[in-house]
Each structure stands twice: as structure tokens, then as C-alpha cells.
Chains A and B, each alone.
Chain A
Amino acid sequence: DAGITQSPRHKVTETGTPVTLRCHQTENHRYMYWYRQDPGHGLRLIHYSYGVKDTDKGEVSDGYSVSRSKTEDFLLTLESATSSQTSVYFCAISETSGRVGGYNEQFFGPGTRLTVL
């Protein structure tokens, strides 16, 4: 999986508890992304990062926050988990910026299955 690990791989938690998912890369890629995957919706972007301490919201960012203090780590936090956040979460990385002429091929981690009861 292109030097990308996610932890934990599985987690069950209760509504209202905070949860942090970690994505770690060894590729030194500048760009990192968090997606969630739900049946019938494909992958939806939660947040992404274009450098250390530089992040931006995606299409489904409500209820999530992120932090990137080092190039290799991108953390996704659910401040107060809800049942609607039960999903499979994927981290991805890319090297090119996606500027015009940049292609933005992404490499994905193995995913974290989160269940909120």
C-alpha cells in the first residue's frame, strides 16, 4: 500500500466519545487526504492537507477536524462521535499538487473500519 499505514484498523466506540484516526506515510509526499466510504456514496473527501499545518475542508467535513504537525502524519479526529460517522475511513497521499499540469494520482492506505454504537 505504497508505504501508508492507518491505525487503528478497526474500532468500535460509543456515541459522544472522541476518536482519533492516524495515517502515517513513509513516502514523504506533500499531500494527504481523508475520505470516508459508505455504501452507495463511493468515497467522499473529509479533509485534506497540502503541507505541514496546511489543511482544507472537503465535502463532508462537519463533525471532523484534522491536524498535520509532521509531513508523515495526518490525524483525523471525531470530537464527539455519532452513529452517522460509522464508516470505513481511507487515507490517501499524492505527490503532485494537482495544479494545472499536475496529475494528482493518489495512493491509498488499507482503511479503518469505525463503528459508533
Chain B
Amino acid sequence: SQQGEEDPQALSIQEGENATMNCSYKTSINNLQWYRQNSGRGLVHLILIRSNEREKHSGRLRVTLDTSKKSSSLLITASRAADTASYFCATKRDTGRRALTFGSGTRLQVQP
């Protein structure tokens, strides 16, 4: 099963609204990252939050991390049509393998 699972699988909102996506994971982590993927393209790194951090901001992005619940949320404020994409969380485990484990993603559609 996936280490990271995003919720919802799909989200449709109007331009100007906020979009919130959630990610749950199973094992202890070193950090959690969010990536965006536009249709037909590779993933682009958005933001990273370390296991000892609870909240982080980058422009219109706000990420929270609750290690006790093993969950994270990504908030995009004042969404734009250009935010239409798939969003993935990825976790770096505390020990063991160096690679990231990705969830199955949330497809965000922002209607103009």
C-alpha cells in the first residue's frame, strides 16, 4: 500500500477560492514534500516540511504537518486557473531507503 495517500482524489473549485488537499502516511518520516504535475509533464517540487516543523508557507501555499496523526495538508489560497494540475505528497522515511515514497495524487481543477 502507498506510504502517502492524498485526499480527495479530485477537487474542482472556482478561481479565487482556496483549495485544500490532505495526505496521510504510515511510517515515521524525516520530511514530507509536495509536488505539482501539469498534464504531460514531470513533477515540480513545491515545498518541503521537516518532521520537527508544524507549518510552512511559500507564496500562496501553506503546508501543515501533524506527525501524531501522520498527516499533512496543502492549502492553495486564491487559486488561479494556472493552478490546475495534480498534486502529490511524498515522504522521506526516517531510516532505511534514501528514496521518496509518493502518494497517488489529487487532481485539482480550477474553473476560470
Tell me the A55-73 residues at the B interface (CB within 8 Å): 56, 58-59
Q: Which residues of A contact B33 (CB under 8 A)?
A: 104-106
Interface hub of B42, B44, B88, B100 (most chain A Cβ within 10 A): B42
In the complex, chain B residues whose CB is within 8 Å of the CB of A102? 30
Interface string of A74-95 (1 = CB under 8 A from B): 0000000000000000101000
Cβ–Cβ contact A100 & B94, under 8 A: yes
Residues of A within 8 A of B27 (CB): none
Q: Which residues of A contact B45 (CB under 8 A)?
A: 105-107
Is the Cβ of B98 less than 8 Å from the Cβ of A97? yes
Q: Contact flags (1/0) for B69-103 with A, using CB distance below 8 Å?
A: 00000000000000000001010101001111111
CA A56 – CA B88 in complex, angstroms? Answer: 24
* Residues 17-41 of chain B, each 1 if its beta carbon lies under 8 Å from chain A, else 0: 0000000000000110101000011
Shortest distance in angstroms between B99's beta carbon and chain A's nearest beta carbon?
5
- Closest residue to A96 on the B side, CB-wise? B98
CA distance A98 to B29 in the complex (A): 11
CB-based contact B2/A106 at 8 Å: no
Give the contacting residue for A42; candidates B30, B92, B99, B105; CB below 8 A. Answer: B105
Q: Are A100 and B43 in contact (CB under 8 A)?
A: no
Give the CA-CA distance A58 to B100 in the complex, in Å: 10
Q: Which residues of B contact A59 (CB under 8 A)?
A: 101
Q: Does A22 contact B (CB under 8 A)?
A: no
Is B48 an interface position by the 8 A CB rule? yes
Closest 5 CB pairs of A and B: A108-B42, A98-B98, A42-B104, A43-B102, A108-B43
